[in-house]
Amino acid sequence: MQKKRVAAFMVMAVGMGLGGLVTLLLVLFVARAWWTTPFEVLGFGGAPTQPIAFPHTVHAGVDIILDADGNPKLDTSNQEMNGLGLGCTFCHRNVDKGAAASIPPVEQCIFCHKSIGTDLPEVAKLINAWDNKEAVVWERVHRLPDSVRFVHEPHIRFFTEPGNLMPSGEQATLAANVCSTCHGDVAQMEEVKQVRSLKMGDCVDCHRNYSAPTDCTTCHY
Ligand code: HEC
Ligand code: HEC
Ligand code: HEC
Ligand code: HEC
Ligand code: HEC
């Protein structure tokens, strides 16, 4: 009887110890997710798998493009290929006009891809979508809760105004110069991933630094 009770107590103690540890880990996890970008486990924080592997490096970057084996890719005349250096607003056309930056429709991609890269499997998927009149449903990388209001336009307008230096200390002349403030160097990303927390504390800190509004209704519905 006595022995049984001790055993039960020990099971309970071990259970509580483990429970406590689990709770502690959970609290740490949530606390870190709150203040910074989440841990890259369970798919949080990493780049989501996109329906088509669209590389910003090739389109927005200017560096030499590498093939799957890491060797410089050669064009039909055996020259090393560089990224196209397309401006961010070439595709994200609404970014200096409204709330969402917007992702271009397939039609805009097909403008080039009806003739370019048609032998590449990822481009074949794109052409297939076009032929079947299907939209490509891209996975969102950045996503604020529904209770939060974010508008791109005032940020782009503010930081392209002469005299308003970005946190990096630089003066933006084009809308495309501003993006890296919040999104990092997307032109160098094979897959886009979130690099800045963009949590409430992060937004509010920057708003304070620039005397932008910080009352709750600025960012909450
Ligand atoms: C040729 C068109 C094109 C150009 C040029 C381009 N993008 Fe994109 N961008 C896309 C497409 C398509 C997606 C959706 C697929 C993905 O997330 O990779 C995307 C996704 C993104 C995302 C992630 C959106 C989300 O879901 O949160 C960001 C951020 C972004 N682009 C920023 C940029 C920046 C900054 C530049 C300039 C350096 C740029 N893009 C240039 C087509 C383009
Ligand atoms: C002040 C920070 C900030 C700046 C500067 C910024 N973004 Fe964003 N971007 C965000 C946030 C936050 C989201 C998520 C918005 C949401 O979930 O409602 C986002 C979402 C996006 C998305 C996906 C959803 C959409 O809006 O279509 C794209 C694409 C994007 N940004 C591109 C850009 C480009 C291109 C630039 C530069 C021209 C830029 N962003 C500048 C913070 C920023
Ligand atoms: C201005 C012309 C142009 C536009 C617009 C364009 N692309 Fe491309 N894209 C290229 C070129 C050039 C390449 C490199 C082709 C090669 O490697 O032979 C490429 C490569 C690709 C690849 C293959 C990458 C690889 O190596 O597997 C994909 C996928 C792709 N583009 C998707 C898109 C999507 C999606 C859009 C629209 C959001 C788009 N492209 C818009 C010119 C363009
Ligand atoms: C890099 C600094 C910076 C970051 C980060 C930032 N903002 Fe801003 N935001 C500004 C500035 C500066 C303005 C004011 C522009 C002006 O004066 O018109 C502004 C304006 C706004 C506005 C429009 C306010 C109005 O009514 O005129 C909203 C909404 C907003 N920000 C939401 C957000 C949210 C949500 C986040 C985080 C996801 C965020 N911002 C992150 C600098 C930033
Ligand atoms: C500059 C923009 C900004 C301002 C100002 C702001 N918030 Fe937020 N808030 C956010 C963002 C972004 C999130 C979502 C990310 C996160 O959880 O931190 C958020 C999340 C929250 C949440 C968590 C619930 C949820 O929607 O995920 C609460 C509660 C909240 N805010 C309350 C407030 C209150 C109260 C104020 C005024 C004192 C305020 N916020 C002012 C940007 C802002």
Ligand nearest to the CA of 68: 3
> In sequence order, what are the residues at sequence separation of 6 or more whose Cβ sits closer than 8 angstroms to the Cβ of residue 102?
92, 93, 94, 95
Beta bridge pairs of residue 74: 80
Beta bridge pairs of residue 90: none
Residues 151 and 199 occupy one common structural domain: yes
Residue 129: the pLDDT is 97
User: Measured between alpha carbons, how far is 155 from 143 in angstroms, rounded to an integer?
Assistant: 17
With cut-offs at 50, 70 and 90, classify the pLDDT of residue 23. Answer: low
Task: Tell me whether residue 179 is exposed, middle or buried, using C-beta atoms within 10 angstroms of its C-beta: 0 to 12, 13 to 18, 19 or more.
Answer: buried
- Tens of pLDDT, residue by residue over 123-142, are 999 999 999 999 999 999 99
Residue 66: the pLDDT is 87
User: Measured between alpha carbons, how far is 192 from 53 in angstroms, rounded to an integer?
Assistant: 10
- DSSP H helices in 36-85: 56-60
Task: Tell me whether residue 88 is exposed, middle or buried, using C-beta atoms within 10 angstroms of its C-beta: 0 to 12, 13 to 18, 19 or more.
Answer: buried
User: Measured between alpha carbons, how far is 119 from 180 in angstroms, rounded to an integer?
Assistant: 32
Residues 219 and 177 occupy one common structural domain: yes
Residue 89 included in any domain: yes
Residue 58 included in any domain: yes
Provide the 3-class DSSP secondary structure of residue 7.
helix
Choosing from 121, 137, 153, the residue where a domain stops is 137
Residues 80 and 156 occupy one common structural domain: yes
Which has the higher per-residue pLDDT, 30 or 104?
Answer: 104
CB 36 within 8 A of CB 197: yes
User: Measured between alpha carbons, how far is 133 from 173 in angstroms, rounded to an integer?
Assistant: 38
| Residues having CB within 6 Å of any atom of ligand 4 | 144, 148-151, 154-155, 158, 167, 181-182, 198, 202-203, 206-207, 210, 212-213, 218-219
**Is ligand 3 within 6 A of the CB of residue 58?**
yes
Nearest ligand 2 atom to the CA of 88 is 35
CB 83 within 8 A of CB 59: yes
Task: Tell me whether residue 118 is exposed, middle or buried, using C-beta atoms within 10 angstroms of its C-beta: 0 to 12, 13 to 18, 19 or more.
Answer: exposed
Residue 46: the pLDDT is 77
Residues 98 and 75 occupy one common structural domain: yes
- Tens of pLDDT, residue by residue over 141-172, are 999 999 999 999 999 999 999 999 999 999 99
Residue 42: the pLDDT is 43
Q: Determine which of 69-73, 104-108, 136-140 has the lowest per-residue pLDDT on average.
A: 69-73
Residues 98 and 151 occupy one common structural domain: yes
Ligand 5 center to 146 CA (angstroms): 11
User: Measured between alpha carbons, how far is 194 from 186 in angstroms, rounded to an integer?
Assistant: 10
Ligand 1 center to 188 CA (angstroms): 11
User: Measured between alpha carbons, how far is 176 from 103 in angstroms, rounded to an integer?
Assistant: 15
With cut-offs at 50, 70 and 90, classify the pLDDT of residue 16. Answer: low
User: Measured between alpha carbons, how far is 157 from 97 in angstroms, rounded to an integer?
Assistant: 9
**Is ligand 3 within 6 A of the CB of residue 159?**
no
Q: Is the predicted pLDDT of residue 38 greater than 70, yes or no?
A: no
Mean confidence (pLDDT) of the chain: 87
Tokens at 93, concatenated: 């056309």
Containing structural domain, residue 80: 52-103+140-221
Nearest ligand 3 atom to the CA of 122 is 29
Residue 34 included in any domain: no
Residue 29 included in any domain: no
| Residues having CB within 6 Å of any atom of ligand 5 | 144-145, 147-148, 199-200, 203-204, 207, 214, 216, 218-220
**pTM for the full predicted model:** 0.90
Tokens at 143, concatenated: 């996503």
Q: Is the predicted pLDDT of residue 58 greater than 50, yes or no?
A: yes
